[in-house]
Amino acid sequence: MKQDRQLKTPFFTKLKDYGTSGVTPFDLPGHKLGRVKNDLADFIGLNTFLLDSNSPIGLDSLAKPTGVIKEAQALFAEACGADRCYFLTNGTTMGNLAMIMSTCKADDKILLPRNVHKSVINGLILSGAWPIFMKPDIDRDFGITLGVSFETAKQTIDENPDAVAILLINPTYFGIVSDLERISDYAHEHNMVVLIDEAHGAQFYFCDKLPLGSMQAGADICATSVHKTAGSMTQSSVILAQGRRVDFTKLRSTLNILQSTSSSALLLASLDCARKTMHFEGQKRIEKIIEMAHKARERLANIPGLKVMDKPYIQANGSFNYDETKIVVKVSDLGLSGFEVFHKMKKKYNIQLELAETHIILCVLSMGTTKDDLDNLCDAFEDLSVQYYKPHRRLGKIRFDYELPTAYARPRDAYHAPKLFVPLQDAVNEISAESIMIYPPGIPLVIPGELITEEVVRNINYYVKKGSTLLSDLEDGRFKIINKEKWIKYEGDIDEFIDEEE
Ligand SMILES: Cc1ncc(COP(=O)(O)O)c(C=O)c1O
């Protein structure tokens, strides 16, 4: 019965029927089902425009679904074992905002790792919540941050029993998975709502050889980028939710604050269809991908100058689990940085990697990855190794550490505080009024309210020099800091900080 239901694509089917029905369109959008030609229409063809309609009769409303959207969302929830699913057309960015805003009021405490995506930090600004940051584990050999261990989560929960929520990432960008079941149980014992940023974990629900999806692990709400790893179109994500701790009414209201009133029907349809394909084909095809990835890892690990992350390594080093659809390669022993490899791969071999860090590069695999893709990657690395690897080169030890930054204000207070705009060198020892990050991964180096240390400035300069895209609010090379002279005094730490400065 459940299988039969999953064959349906209620929203896509209705949308297709509508687009091809010969309707006389006096509604929006203005291209009138593709009648207004342009270069894009010429390239992609009419069908895309036939599906780009905006809530005509029969196609339901994302703000208050009662028809085909409701049905499509229910099928998605069922496929993932959740109570409810909400389709999103502004990515997990919007999902993270909605999860946090619907769970935390101003001044509520939320526990979370510091290496979160900027959307989570923006969720703190919009909700007014107080973050209590947890230190992620780190891997000094690959020079990256990992997940949050059960012990760290437990200690943070014990020290902050008044927190209303804990937010975790499942998995991290690099594929590291925390022990969500254990952490969720412990957080629930302390009446906390468990929120999961699942931007990189949509595939988990469709293959039992992968780690658990967060709904399966007992979390309350997650935001999941179906578009990143499960085949729907860019920006289409879902929120999944379950259980009595979720305030479904507030979640709905929050979504309606954040969601466009003209959500893309094309994106919604792509969620509907991706779910069906993943449900019926995910298990087999992802198993195949895991096998292919395994073989590619073996080949890469035999190339001089490369080291490859895998599940046994990750688990032997204390992390709970690993998403084997990610390939993380340490490249710096070739004598090249991850950034250099990132650019060389594109320029010389036409291979687009997902992400680079100082020592590593990241490849993300999905059902769309082919054996040829992985062969190309391995061939390119063999070529790079022949060119750059020098067996007797003395390598400096990686110096990678991770300290929690010093914060003087709630992100929201810093965001609203009076500001000065200064060049980077003048920002040292000032309090940031903005998030500054490189993209990808979009994890802020500093967030509003945090001290801009010399190390932060060094890191910013380093990433810029390496050609990374720096995201900050101003385009003229200056940064926003808090104008302490004009800052209205708040209670607590902030007063102390100002007093110290005087
Ligand atoms: C960990 C994490 N969370 C959230 C997001 C935002 O997801 P989306 O691109 O679907 O808005 C990203 C995007 O890269 C991410 O890496």
Q: Pick the closest to residue 183 from 167, 160, 171 (CA basis).
A: 167
pTM of this structure: 0.95
For residue 212, what are its two tokens?
Answer: 């658990």
Residue 442 near ligand 1, beta carbon < 6 Å: yes
Q: Pick the closest to residue 330 from 300, 360, 301 (CA basis).
A: 360
Cβ neighbours for 198, distance < 8 A, ≥ 6 positions apart: 92, 169, 170, 204, 213, 214, 222, 223, 224, 225
Ligand 1 atom closest to the CA of 228, numbered from 1:
10
Q: Pick the closest to residue 470 from 481, 459, 480 (CA basis).
A: 459
Residue 225 near ligand 1, beta carbon < 6 Å: yes
In this structure, which amino acid lies at residue 93?
Answer: T
CA of 357 to the centre of ligand 1 (A): 17
CA of 288 to the centre of ligand 1 (A): 26
CA of 428 to the centre of ligand 1 (A): 29
CA of 59 to the centre of ligand 1 (A): 28
Ligand 1 atom closest to the CA of 169, numbered from 1:
1
Q: How far apart are the C-alpha atoms of 183 and 149, rounded to whole Å?
A: 9
Contact indicator for 163, 132 with CB cutoff of 8 Å? yes
Count Cα neighbours of 104 within 13 Å in the Cβ-side half-sphere. Answer: 36
Domain 283-388: homologous superfamily in CATH: Aspartate Aminotransferase, domain 1 (3.90.1150.10)
Ligand 1 atom closest to the CA of 93, numbered from 1:
11
Per-residue pLDDT 10s for the chain (502 aa) are: 677 999 999 999 999 999 999 999 999 999 999 999 999 999 999 999 999 999 999 999 999 999 999 999 999 999 999 999 999 999 999 999 999 999 999 999 999 999 999 999 999 999 999 999 999 999 999 999 999 999 999 999 999 999 999 999 999 999 999 999 999 999 999 999 999 999 999 999 999 999 999 999 999 999 999 999 999 999 999 999 999 999 999 999 999 999 999 999 999 999 999 999 999 999 999 999 999 999 999 999 999 999 999 999 999 999 999 999 999 999 999 999 999 999 999 999 999 999 999 999 999 999 999 999 999 999 999 999 999 999 877 666 677 778 899 999 999 999 999 999 999 999 999 999 999 988 888 889 999 999 999 999 998 998 888 888 888 888 888 999 999 888 865 544 444 544 444 4
Residue 481: strand pairing partners: 420, 432
Residue 113 near ligand 1, beta carbon < 6 Å: no
For residue 421, what are its two tokens?
Answer: 């705009």
For residue 332, what are its two tokens?
Answer: 């710096």
**Extents of the domains making up the chain:** 283-388, 411-501
The answer to whether domain 411-501 has CATH 3.40.50.300 is: no
283-388 with 411-501: one CATH topology? no
